Amino acid sequence: MVKFLLNKPIAVTMTFIAIMIVGLVSTTRIPVSLMPDVAIPEITVQISEANTSARELENSVVRPIRQQLMQVAHLDDIKSETTDGNGTIKLKFNYGTNIDFAFIEVNEKVDRAMNYLPRSIGRPRIIKASVGDIPVFYLNLTLKKTNSENYRDQNHKSQNVDSAFSLRSPVFDLQSSVSNDLFPVSQSFVELSRFASNVISKRLEQLPEVAMVDMSGLAKTEILIMPDLQKMEALGVTLDQLEQKINSNNIKLGNLSIRDGQYLYNVRFASSLQNKQAIEDIWLKTDTRLYQLKEIATVIDHPQKPKGLVLSNGQEAITMAVIKQSDAQMNKMKKSLKALVAQFENDYPDIEFEITRDQTKLLDYSISNLAQSLWQGALLAFLMLFFFLRDTKSPFLIGITIPITFVVCLLLFYLVGLSVNIISLSGLI
């Protein structure tokens, strides 16, 4: 083999140059991540049902689902924990199990178990974890002043029945009076929460390098209906009748297929209350009189009691955990994110944007350490060989071998589908 290579110097040189060019090109296409994209062999099933005791939830929901999940293939261990209103089932699989196939099988088992659960129970959440799910950046949003009309106007234009009363589970708090304790969050921060959810997060997720944005610290709102008891008594309307009327206007009847000859029409029936105005415009009828709900009750859109708090520099803030695509490069993502944040700062001067917990710093340090190790190793090898061999050709050949080997290794990374991360860089160093 060596004799063949020595007799073909031009072919060997051209092949060597071609490999180097392909290797240098591949270095710009290799995904760069903080950690390797390794799937954790665990899947979690989360069950939530408000106002349900732990014993009742365990017997009627957790146990039937657990019995179905015990039939999943390659299952190593299963544990469940139930508290009042919440249940969690953790499944641990054998190492080497394809977690994507296991995730599909767990979903199938949960769907099968839904036939034996109470109808009031919603479908459990099924979560699989991966090392690549670690957020790369955190973006904090705080208000510079209490009133911010710039982002509020755009928020109202973009919002599509946001949280006012949480379309999925509207809150109807029927009472005759309300205290100031029900307003723990300022209205300006509620507007910021809506704006962040409807505008900022959507624009961040439009970046090609961003997989998803997970938000914390949002201030949610609910609808408070305060009926006028005197008017209701005069009209002969009870609180139960009022609540029943509201619920009857917030229903979804599903889809209906209608065939007319050769044509098939899909008709969808829905009557949902989407905002405060829709609740106020509900029509009621007593005897011969027709009136609207706003004539006998006051409808208020106010913040819910906060369940958590996020602070940035001592101020109440909204934090966004930015998770990157598995095949994206962190440097490109960092540049795109900083450019978008600069645009945000220019478009919305009343909001302060701050990027925190930059995970790329550790990767940059590893890359710089790798480059330093390469130069130091090549220089040390060159000096030692020159000192012992007293020849410039052999040390020079050994000196250029180190970076060439590095480029060839990166080419193999690209061909195999590996990413540049802390673990692979440690091996290269």
pLDDT digits (tens, 9 = 90+) for 36-51: 767 778 888 988 887 7
**Partner residues linked to 43 by β-bridges:** 91, 128
CA geometry: angle 277, 278, 280, nearest 5 deg: 65
CA geometry: angle 391, 395, 399, nearest 5 deg: 160
- Name the pLDDT band for 175 (thresholds 50, 70, 90): very low
- The DSSP secondary-structure symbol of 408 reads H
Instruction: State mean pLDDT over 213-240.
Output: 80
pLDDT digits (tens, 9 = 90+) for 312-328: 777 888 888 888 877 77
**Structure confidence at residue 335 (pLDDT):** 86
Instruction: State mean pLDDT over 252-271.
Output: 69
Compute CA distances 280 → 199, 226, 252, 296, whole Å: 27, 11, 19, 10
Judge if pTM exceeds 0.85.
no
Overall residue count recorded for the chain in this entry: 429
Task: Give the H or E element holding residue 415.
Answer: helix 393-416
CA geometry: angle 210, 212, 218, nearest 5 deg: 125
Compute CA distances 143 → 30, 94, 319, 396, whole Å: 39, 48, 13, 60
**Structure confidence at residue 378 (pLDDT):** 73
**Structure confidence at residue 153 (pLDDT):** 47
3-class SS of residue 309 = coil
Terminal C-alpha separation, the chain: 30
Letter string b/e over residues 68-94, b meaning 16 or more CB atoms within 10 A of that residue's CB? bbeebebbeebebebeeebbbbebebe
223 vs 76, residue with greater confidence:
76
- Residue 338 makes CB contacts below 8 A (sequence gap 6+) with 355
**Structure confidence at residue 420 (pLDDT):** 79
pLDDT digits (tens, 9 = 90+) for 354-380: 888 877 777 777 777 777 877 787 788
- State the pairing for strand pair 289-292/297-303: unpaired
What does the block give as tokens for 152?
């509020």
The phi, psi pair for 261, rounded to 5°, reads 70, -120
3-class SS of residue 282 = coil
**Residue appearing with tokens 């994507």:** 100
